[in-house]
């Protein structure tokens, strides 16, 4: 099978979380025939709604039941967490105890620090932040940065947006509401004037145009993954901002600050989920710009690409489902094929961009055409 298939018999994988992303991950992996998947969730309705496949079995499981979780993981090749960010540490701790590889999709900074601690003495690989941002965006940024003799600025911009916005927020729910709220509230890591810094979420708004469409972007938490640590002392400016249509930030800041909903997350979640319809007609925008000294001159290189909704195993999936699932599936594939370290903490930027795009799952990110707005351009 092409595109970095696993090298031996089918591997047993546990996926925690049967929501939009977890069920898509299960379907992507099952379609290859190289993995046997147990899809686990405490919500029986979620499990019942997941697409059926002969390589996927489902199991009701409460993460709070530590003994049951460890028993489920025992003897498996890896566990993939597609659960809400506040469950990350419990799943990672169970993976360490069961001595299985661990991958997740979290953007939560505190959770990732705990994963890193667990990885220090682990006999297996711990690879957090395997989605879109953090995840693929770090792989792209590190690849661009490696082409420069000396770095000046690295800017990462990512957004999952409705193709047809129809409300004042210019937004539809495309992924975890808890995750959105978390990244809109928590402090954001950055490098400012060569120094590690924390900057407030929802601030430093900017506007830019891509393919004739105007967007806004603002600070959000977690998108840089471990890049601040990797590029510390090597770059003057490093930041990450989320892309939205203009007007979104002003309304969200009113909700979070003026109405004090940052301190009532459950209420904010309920408001957003009752007021904003979900959509599968979305577009993911990835926009990375790096500047610095190259061949003795100050140069800039940019990666800009849009990914749209499509099919997975014949079933329609949104762009954010496809990109997030493809990210963690590609990393799992590379791990299973021996292309990544087999123990300890593995950063996303340790993954070669060329290896990722050559992978059967990573090809979901491949540019459709060459040019400044599609792929890498000088």
Give the domains, in start order, of the chain with CATH numbers.
Answer: 11-131+327-356 (3.40.50.720), 136-315+367-377 (3.30.360.10)
Which pLDDT tens digit goes with each residue over 56-66? 999 999 999 99
- pLDDT at position 9: 55
The mean predicted confidence, pLDDT, of the chain is 92
pLDDT by residue (tens digit) across 114-136? 999 999 999 999 999 999 999 99
Which pLDDT band, with edges at 50, 70 and 90, does 376 fall under?
very low
Residue of 160, 157, 202, 182 whose CA lies nearest to 107: 182
64-112 confidence digits (pLDDT tens): 999 999 999 999 999 999 998 889 999 999 999 999 999 999 888 888 9
169-178 residue pLDDT tens: 999 988 789 9
pLDDT reported for residue 366: 83
Question: DSSP states of 196-243 as a string?
Answer: EEEE-TT-S-EEEEETTEEEEEEE-SSTTTTHHHHHTTT-SEEEEEEE
Q: What is the mean pLDDT of residues 344-353?
A: 96
Please state, in angstroms and rounded to a whole number, the distance separating the CA atoms of residues 126 and 80: 10
């Amino acid at each position: 099978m092409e595109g970095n298939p696993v090298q031996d018999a089918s591997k047993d994988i546990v996926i925690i979380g049967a929501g939009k992303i977890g069920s898509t991950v299960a379907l992507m992996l099952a379609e290859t025939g190289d993995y046997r998947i147990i899809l686990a969730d405490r919500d029986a309705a979620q499990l019942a709604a997941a697409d059926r496949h002969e390589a996927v079995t489902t199991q009701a499981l409460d993460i709070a039941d530590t003994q049951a979780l460890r028993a489920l993981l025992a003897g498996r090749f890896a566990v993939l967490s597609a659960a809400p960010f506040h469950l990350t540490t419990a799943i990672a701790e169970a993976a360490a105890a069961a001595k299985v590889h661990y991958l997740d999709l979290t953007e939560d900074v505190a959770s990732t620090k705990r994963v890193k601690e667990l990885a220090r003495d682990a006999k297996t690989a711990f690879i957090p932040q395997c989605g879109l941002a953090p995840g693929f965006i770090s792989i792209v940024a590190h690849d661009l940065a490696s082409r420069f003799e000396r770095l000046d600025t690295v800017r990462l911009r990512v957004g999952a947006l409705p193709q047809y916005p129809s409300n004042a927020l210019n937004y539809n729910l495309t992924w975890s509401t808890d995750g959105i709220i978390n990244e809109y509230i928590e402090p954001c890591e950055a490098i400012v004037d060569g120094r590690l810094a924390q900057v407030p979420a929802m601030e430093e708004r900017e506007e830019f145009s891509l393919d004739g469409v105007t967007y806004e972007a603002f600070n959000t938490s977690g998108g840089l993954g471990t890049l601040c640590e990797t590029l510390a002392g090597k770059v003057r400016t490093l930041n990450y901002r989320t892309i939205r249509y203009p007007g979104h930030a002003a309304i969200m800041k009113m909700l979070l600050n003026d109405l004090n909903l940052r301190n009532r997350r459950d209420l904010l979640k309920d408001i957003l989920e009752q007021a904003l319809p979900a959509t599968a007609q979305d577009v993911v925008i990835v926009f990375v710009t790096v500047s610095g000294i190259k061949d003795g001159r100050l140069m800039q290189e940019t990666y800009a690409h849009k990914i749209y909704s499509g099919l997975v195993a014949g079933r329609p999936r949104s762009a954010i489902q496809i990109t997030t699932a493809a990210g963690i599936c590609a990393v799992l594939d590379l791990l299973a094929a021996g292309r990544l370290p087999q123990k300890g903490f593995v950063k996303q930027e340790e993954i070669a961009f060329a290896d990722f795009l050559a992978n059967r799952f990573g090809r979901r990110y491949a540019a459709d055409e060459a040019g400044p707005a599609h792929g890498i351009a000088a």
